[in-house]
């Protein structure tokens, strides 16, 4: 008899994931923010290009400029990841879930596979779309980039990887805190508030600390050449993966110990 | 066979369940009776592996719950009626559950039909009445056709027709040889629903037995009315009974009704009433749990 397996639990989580409206809304918001705001930023760059400082023109990266919408989309994917688990706690359905699958590690693994699989598709499509749209907006006025270039392709694809990793980070926060509002606040603070606090520190401290922030790692990942004082793209990716693994491990350890 | 073995559960300083032991046999409906906050829900959650016991254990046919390869095929449970994501349809909720345990999806339509909610299967659960939610919980419980079923306060929110339906449903499950364990704080309901009753209070075991056993142990007097109460009272006292005389008749203790009838016949006293007195389950319950009703706001279980 086939019973509870990783495959059956993953299919079950996929049904849960796509059968609530918040997922669809989250995906739409993610796409609109990535592509729509990306296009808006590209349009603004094009309009101001002739007035731009020559030094800044020299440092201009058409790839990261076209991926600017991800700065906003990162909050949407975080919410998708968080709600995937916290909505089960707020509704009480977590008990139904764990009664059906007492090996809770399987539930988390299923959620992780569904979240990574679906968001990687959505965010990669959105990042490629906003890149192409951005280049067509820049075209003729602002320098453009092509996906045929290895570094460009890497930057665009790591945009989707960055957003997907942040969705998993949101899931990890949800596992740890179990409440939607608390988890989303913590997630937002990590991305927005802590960088602002760092900004108040002396310049040398800032330079040392800022590059460790998830948002800074994202900037490196989505630039063809890493900004000054930042880690390189692959180091940044690896560091972000480590963050996610640490947060996720804490979440799973708590989940296995706690009463449901 | 459902077994609770020296089960203890603490939540911080609160003792929800205290060294509780009992067995629940298959083939009958077993009521799990106790005041609110007496540890019924906690016990059921531990049975399902949701809460971790502080001490002791529960087992199902000798197995720990988490060891079942497909738990929904062994144990069906309805805990809180609202344990469903409000934005999901009833059908999708059941599909997700069935899929996790490799139960064929055709079963989803069957249980929706059985529970009488097929017509609202594609509506969001958030809009369900309490009664409809209870029916969805029942549909979920029988999804895997399990041999053991747990229901936590299942009649809450059901209309009279629904209550009749669920009573008949429990009886059918028991007749099929399944173990049916139903919690309630309503003794009157349990008297009609359950064959066996386990009473707990403040996490302690208080009593276990059939409704008959529990109501008989407590009372035992016989009410008698006759054409000549005074003479009959004297005869009965002479025969060793204790008799209390009231305007309506006699309350006779320490003597079975057959003996009372025989004495009356021998003396030619016509009886107009001869009724063995039986405490209602409610009275027995109040008496048994008088010391263990949890007052105050420190409730941790519902």
State ipTM.
0.91
Q: Is residue B287's pLDDT more than 80? A: no
Pick the most confident of A112-126, B182-196, B287-301: A112-126
SS3 B287: helix
**Alpha-carbon distance B278 to B273, whole Å?**
15
Would you state the pLDDT for residue B300? 46
- Are B224 and B211 found together in one domain? no
Among B230, B280, B240, residue whose Cα is nearest residue B260: B240
Element (H, E) at B21: strand B14-24
Please, where are the H alpha helices in chain B?
40-47, 71-74, 90-100, 106-115, 130-141, 160-175, 187-193, 211-218, 229-238, 257-266, 281-289
- Are B107 and B27 found together in one domain? yes
Nearest-by-CA chain A residue for B150: A99
- Are B248 and B264 found together in one domain? yes
Report yes or no on B300 lying in a domain: no
DSSP B67: G
> What is the CATH classification number for the domain harbouring B138?
3.40.50.300
**Alpha-carbon distance B106 to B113, whole Å?**
11
How many structural domains comprise chain A? Answer: 1
User: Checking DSSP bridges between strand B222-226 and strand B179-184, what pairing results, if any?
Assistant: unpaired
Best mutation target among A1, A13, A100 (most B Cβ atoms within 10 Å) is A100
Mean pLDDT lowest among B49-63, B159-173, B207-221, B267-281: B207-221
Q: Is residue B297's pLDDT more than 60? A: no
Would you state the pLDDT for residue B296? 40
Q: Does B213 touch chain A (CB under 8 A)?
A: no
- Are B249 and B203 found together in one domain? no
- Nearest neighbour of A15 by CB, restricted to B65, B92, B101: B92
State percent of chain A over pLDDT 70: 100
Q: Which residues contact B270 (CB under 8 A, 6 or more apart)?
A: B226, B227, B264
Closest-CA distance, A62 to chain B, in angstroms, reads 41
Q: Which residues of B touch A96 (CB under 8 A)?
A: 79, 83-84, 93, 97, 140
Nearest-by-CA chain A residue for B103: A3
- Are B226 and B261 found together in one domain? yes
- Are B31 and B79 found together in one domain? yes
Report yes or no on A46 lying in a domain: yes
Would you state the pLDDT for residue A219? 93
Q: Which domain holds residue A12?
A: 6-257
Closest-CA distance, B95 to chain A, in angstroms, reads 8
Across the interface, whether the CB atoms of A103 and B50 are under 8 A apart is answered no
- Are B32 and B81 found together in one domain? yes
How many structural domains comprise chain B? Answer: 2
Would you state the pLDDT for residue B8? 97
Closest-CA distance, A166 to chain B, in angstroms, reads 24
Among B80, B82, B87, residue whose Cα is nearest residue B124: B87
Report yes or no on A1 lying in a domain: no
Q: Which residues of B touch A97 (CB under 8 A)?
A: 100
Would you state the pLDDT for residue B298? 43
Q: What are phi and psi of B115, to 5 degrees?
A: -80, -5
User: Is residue A241 packed enough to be buried (19+ CB in 10 Å), middle (13-18) or exposed (0-12)?
Assistant: middle
- Are B269 and B189 found together in one domain? no
- Nearest neighbour of A91 by CB, restricted to B45, B86, B95: B86
Looking at every residue in chain B, the average pLDDT score rounds to 89
At B133, the pLDDT band (50, 70, 90 cuts) reads very high
Report yes or no on B87 lying in a domain: yes
- Nearest neighbour of A100 by CB, restricted to B71, B88, B92: B71
Q: Which residues of A touch B49 (CB under 8 A)?
A: 98-99, 102
A233 alpha carbon, distance to own chain's centre: 15
Which ranges of chain A have pLDDT less than 50?
A: none
Would you state the pLDDT for residue B37? 86
Report yes or no on A28 lying in a domain: yes
Across the interface, whether the CB atoms of A3 and B70 are under 8 A apart is answered yes
Report yes or no on A193 lying in a domain: yes
Closest-CA distance, A178 to chain B, in angstroms, reads 15
Contact A66, A42 (CB under 8 A): yes
Report yes or no on B294 lying in a domain: no
Angle, helices A233-257 vs A104-138, to 10°: value is 150
Closest-CA distance, A108 to chain B, in angstroms, reads 13
- Are B82 and B16 found together in one domain? yes
Among B203, B227, B234, B216, residue whose Cα is nearest residue B279: B216
Looking at every residue in chain A, the average pLDDT score rounds to 95
Q: Does A91 touch chain B (CB under 8 A)?
A: yes
Reported as a single tens digit per residue, the pLDDT across A47-79 is 999 999 998 888 899 999 999 999 999 999 999
Report yes or no on B210 lying in a domain: yes
Report yes or no on B296 lying in a domain: no
**Alpha-carbon distance B135 to B146, whole Å?**
17
**Alpha-carbon distance B237 to B234, whole Å?**
5
- Are B252 and B199 found together in one domain? no
CA dihedral B65, B69, B70, B76 (to 10 degrees): -10
State percent of chain B over pLDDT 90: 67
Q: Which residues of B touch A1 (CB under 8 A)?
A: 69-70, 73, 102
Would you state the pLDDT for residue B299? 41
Closest-CA distance, A71 to chain B, in angstroms, reads 29
Best mutation target among B99, B104, B124 (most A Cβ atoms within 10 Å) is B99
Reported as a single tens digit per residue, the pLDDT across A7-17 is 999 999 999 99
At B275, the pLDDT band (50, 70, 90 cuts) reads confident
Q: Which domain holds residue B7?
A: 2-215+283-289
SS3 B204: strand
CB–CB contacts below 8 A, A to B? 111
- Are B207 and B228 found together in one domain? no
Residues paired with residue B7 on neighbouring β-strands, in sequence order = B20
Contact A183, A173 (CB under 8 A): yes
SS3 A41: helix
Q: Does B68 touch chain A (CB under 8 A)?
A: yes
DSSP string, A196-226: HHHHTS-HHHHHHHHTTSHHHHHHHHTSSSP
Contact A198, A209 (CB under 8 A): yes
Contact B201, B17 (CB under 8 A): no
- Are B188 and B268 found together in one domain? no
Among B279, B271, B163, residue whose Cα is nearest residue B227: B271
Reported as a single tens digit per residue, the pLDDT across B66-122 is 999 999 999 999 987 678 999 999 999 999 999 999 999 999 999 999 999 999 999
Among B195, B216, B200, residue whose Cα is nearest residue B292: B200
Best mutation target among B48, B100, B108, B151 (most A Cβ atoms within 10 Å) is B100
């Amino acid at each position: 008899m086939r019973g509870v397996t990783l495959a059956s639990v993953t299919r079950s989580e996929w049904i849960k994931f796509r059968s609530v409206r918040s997922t669809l809304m989250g995906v739409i918001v993610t796409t609109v923010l990535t592509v729509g705001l990306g296009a808006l930023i590209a349009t603004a760059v094009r309009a101001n290009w002739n007035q731009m400082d020559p030094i800044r023109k020299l440092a201009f990266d058409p790839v990261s400029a076209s991926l600017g919408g991800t700065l906003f989309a990162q909050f949407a994917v975080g919410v998708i990841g968080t709600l995937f688990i916290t909505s089960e706690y707020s509704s009480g359905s977590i008990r139904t879930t764990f009664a059906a699958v007492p090996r809770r590690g399987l539930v988390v693994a299923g959620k992780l596979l569904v979240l990574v699989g679906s968001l990687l598709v959505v965010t990669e499509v959105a990042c490629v779309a906003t890149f192409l749209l951005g280049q067509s907006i820049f075209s003729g006025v602002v320098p453009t980039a092509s996906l045929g270039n290895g570094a460009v392709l890497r930057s665009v694809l790591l945009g989707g990887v960055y957003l997907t990793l942040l969705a998993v980070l949101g899931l990890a926060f949800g596992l740890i805190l179990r409440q939607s509002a608390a988890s989303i606040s913590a997630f937002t603070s990590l991305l927005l508030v802590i960088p602002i606090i760092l900004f108040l520190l002396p310049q040398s401290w800032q330079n040392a600390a800022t590059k460790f922030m998830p948002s800074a790692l994202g900037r490196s990942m989505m630039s063809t050449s890493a900004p000054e004082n930042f880690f390189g793209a692959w180091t940044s990716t690896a560091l972000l993966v480590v963050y996610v693994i640490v947060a996720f491990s804490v979440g799973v350890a708590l989940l296995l110990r706690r009463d449901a | 066979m459902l077994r609770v073995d020296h089960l203890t559960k603490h939540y911080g300083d609160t003792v929800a369940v205290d060294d509780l032991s009992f067995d629940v046999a298959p083939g009958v409906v077993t009521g799990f009776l106790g005041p609110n906050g007496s540890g019924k829900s906690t016990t059921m959650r531990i049975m399902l592996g949701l809460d971790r016991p502080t001490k002791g254990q529960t087992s199902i046919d000798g197995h720990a719950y988490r060891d079942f390869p497909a738990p929904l095929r062994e144990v069906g449970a309805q805990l809180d009626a609202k344990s469903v994501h409000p934005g999901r349809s009833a059908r999708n909720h059941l599909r997700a559950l069935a899929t996790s345990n490799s139960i064929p999806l055709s079963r989803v339509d069957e249980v929706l039909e059985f529970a009488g909610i097929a017509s609202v299967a594609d509506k969001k659960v958030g809009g369900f009445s309490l009664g409809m939610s209870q029916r969805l919980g029942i549909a979920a419980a029988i999804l895997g056709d399990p041999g053991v079923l747990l229901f936590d306060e299942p009649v809450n929110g059901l209309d009279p027709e629904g209550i009749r339906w669920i009573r008949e449903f429990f009886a059918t499950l028991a007749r099929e040889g399944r173990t049916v364990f139903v919690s309630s704080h309503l003794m009157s309901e349990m008297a009609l629903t359950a064959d066996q009753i386990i009473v707990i209070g403040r996490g302690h075991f208080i009593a276990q037995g059939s409704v008959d056993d529990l109501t008989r142990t407590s009372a035992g007097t016989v009410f008698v009315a006759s054409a000549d109460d005074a003479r009959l009272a004297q005869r009965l006292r002479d025969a060793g009974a204790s008799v209390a005389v009231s305007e309506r008749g006699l309350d006779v203790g320490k003597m079975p009704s057959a003996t009372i009838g025989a004495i009356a016949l021998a003396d030619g006293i016509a009886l107009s009433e001869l009724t063995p007195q039986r405490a209602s389950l409610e009275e027995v319950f109040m008496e048994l749990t008088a010391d263990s009703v949890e007052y105050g706001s420190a409730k941790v279980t519902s």
